[in-house]
Each structure stands twice: as structure tokens, then as C-alpha cells.
Chains A and B, each alone.
Chain A
């Protein structure tokens, strides 16, 4: 264990943790109000660590769906983690062994992925562990808090917190887009495609998860073909 890396992981994980609390509180509140026992809501968050995936999952559970439906829906919504996991795997340092990979892969979420990609150094297991433990704490703790106490927060406050995760995403996208024109073009294309998928009836019938997958793969391939990255930018 590298203590310094672990601490840096926790530090970088704190914004994720705070961002997660608002969302997972909403999840905990909604889940329990919809009829899921409190322990189940917390267990879902702790074992899944997904947003859209588990929102959809408990909907199916509450509707008494079959496990097959549950599996396919979870798979489709969460398949984007596959791409993210490949990227993290590429950036993992040499000493990242099998056991470390089995543990660290559990914690790959959109935000953990985004933050780890921001890091200049190769990723050490200690760093990833600090990052994911902080994220898990926020996600699970927030769910518990939501199930127990979210009703006490004034609505205007919980409502304002809903934008925080998107604020984080913006904080990640904008600086490299400002610096590199190719990133800017890729980002603008992705946003345009996202609006198109949202507005065109044929595409908006797709689940949000599918739209994001198609846009990500399509635009990233296009960008890679138009502007292959030179060593120094990576």
C-alpha cells in the first residue's frame, strides 16, 4: 500500500462522495417510499454502486419482474462500464495484480472513472482504493440517510443538490476542451448527438443507457479517425 496515493485517492474522491450523497439520498427516499424495505435499499446501493442501473432495477423488483428481465436491463444500462473499465485497465500501473484488479473493478463508476482519467500518473491500487472507498461510503451512506432522514431537509436544498454531479462532469470536460481543439470538437459532437437522440422520436424511444453507449462509441470512433492522438497529449 502506498499511503500517499491512498490519501490522494480519498481527497479526489470527496467531491464524488458529496455529489453521490444527494443522488443516493433521492434513491433511498424513493426506494423506501415505493415499498422496498430499508435494508434492501441500502444493500442495493452497497452491492451495485450504479445510478441509472439500480434505479431501473428496483423498479423491476417492485413490479415482481423475472430475474432474466432484471439481468438484461441491468446489463444494457451498465454496459458503458465495460468501456470505462478498459480505459482504467490501460492506465493501471505494472504492480496492479489479479487480486487488485478483482477488487478495484468493483468501484468503477462514471465519476470514479472520470476522476481517475484526470490523474497524470499511472493508476496505483492504493489510489483506486481510496477513490472507490470514498465513493462507496457516499453512495451507501447517502442511501441510508435518504431512507431515514431526507424528509427533514427543506426541498429547496435537496433540489439544488441535484445539479452537483453534472457540475462535476462539466468541471472534467471543460479544461481539456479549452486546451485541445480536438477534444472540444468531440465534446460538441457528443452534445449535438445527445440532443438529436433526445429530440428525434425514433431515437428517443431508446433507453438513456443505449443512447449514451451509441453516442460514446460513435463519436469517439469518429474523433479517433479524424484526430488520432499523438503521444504527448496522452
Chain B
């Protein structure tokens, strides 16, 4: 695996990814007035995050039970409108406790 091959490969990855990100930013500048399209874009963040979180969250740690506990704590904290960091740390703390007790 030569240095040049690696550099070229990284450039291919970086350029492809950048183009995906930059094209909409440059070409979709006008405000979209269509209600259906606006509604669609409104729902995207929630559906994409939900699909990425479940079921993947349950295999994000070594202990399945720990992940369930972490998920539960995260949902409860989020329901109480705690901030991102508090929710994330709360979930990690739950996983850690389960790990420490070997569950």
C-alpha cells in the first residue's frame, strides 16, 4: 500500500463527501414556499435520527442490558428536557454502572 495510493484514496473520499454537502448549499438558496416540501424537510431531522438510533443503540455497547438502561435513562432525561450533554452523559453513566456491576 503506497503512500500515493493512500493519499489519492483519501482525496477521492473527501471530494465525494464535500460535493454531496456543497451542491445543495449552493444551488438550493431560494426559500422553498411549497408546504409539502417544507413539511418534508421539517420531518427529515427527526426521522433520520430515529432511524439511525434504533435499533443501533442497543448494539452500541458490549452489554445489551447496559444499552437498554442507557437508552431508558436518555429517554427519561430528554423527556424532562435536559440538554444534549446531560442526556448523553446520563446514558453513558447508566452503561458504566451496568458494566461495573458486570450485568
* Cα(A25)–Cα(B29), bound, Å: 36
Return chain B residues, CB-CB under 8 Å to A44: 10, 13
Contact B77 A89 (CB under 8 A): no
- Of A167, A177, A229, the residue contacting B35 (CB under 8 A) is A229
Contact A172 B16 (CB under 8 A): no
For chain A, the count of residues having a C-beta within 8 Å of the partner chain is: 101
* Cα(A9)–Cα(B73), bound, Å: 27
Given known contacts A78-B17, A187-B50, A227-B39, A89 and B57 CB-to-CB distance under 8 angstroms: no
Min CB gap A86→B, angstroms: 4
- Of A43, A67, A176, A211, the residue contacting B46 (CB under 8 A) is A176
- Of A15, A78, A164, A183, the residue contacting B20 (CB under 8 A) is A78
Mask, B28-72, CB within 8 Å of A = 1, is 110110011111111111111111111111001111001100110
Contact B17 A172 (CB under 8 A): no
Contact B20 A173 (CB under 8 A): no
Return chain B residues, CB-CB under 8 Å to A67: 8-9, 12
Contact A14 B85 (CB under 8 A): yes
Return chain B residues, CB-CB under 8 Å to A191: 50-51, 53-54
Contact B12 A85 (CB under 8 A): no
Q: How large is the interface on B (under 10, 10 to 19, 20 to 34, 35 or more residues)?
A: 35 or more
Contact B25 A104 (CB under 8 A): yes
Residue from the set B14, B18, B25, B46 with the largest chain A CB neighbour count within 10 Å: B46
* Cα(A233)–Cα(B46), bound, Å: 14
Q: Interface SS of chain A: helix, strand, loop or mixed?
A: helix
Given known contacts A74-B13, A164-B91, A166-B53, A187 and B26 CB-to-CB distance under 8 angstroms: no
Contact A57 B13 (CB under 8 A): yes
Return chain B residues, CB-CB under 8 Å to A87: 41, 44-45
Given known contacts A70-B13, A216-B51, A159 and B99 CB-to-CB distance under 8 angstroms: yes
Contact B12 A19 (CB under 8 A): no
- Of B12, B31, B71, B88, the residue contacting A164 (CB under 8 A) is B88
Min CB gap B55→A, angstroms: 6
Q: Would you list 7 pairs from A and B whose C-beta atoms are within 8 A, ordered by A residue?
A: A61-B10, A85-B24, A105-B18, A159-B95, A167-B87, A176-B46, A220-B40
B residues neighboring A (CB under 8 Å): 1, 5-6, 8-14, 16-18, 20-26, 28-29, 31-32, 35-57, 60-63, 66-67, 70-71, 74-75, 77-79, 81-93, 95-96, 99-100
A residues neighboring B (CB under 8 Å): 14-16, 18-19, 35-37, 40, 43-44, 47-50, 53-54, 57, 60-62, 64, 67, 70-71, 74-75, 78-90, 92, 98, 101-102, 104-106, 108, 110, 113-115, 117, 156-157, 159-178, 183, 186-187, 189-191, 193-195, 198, 208, 211-212, 215-216, 219-221, 223-225, 227-229, 233-234
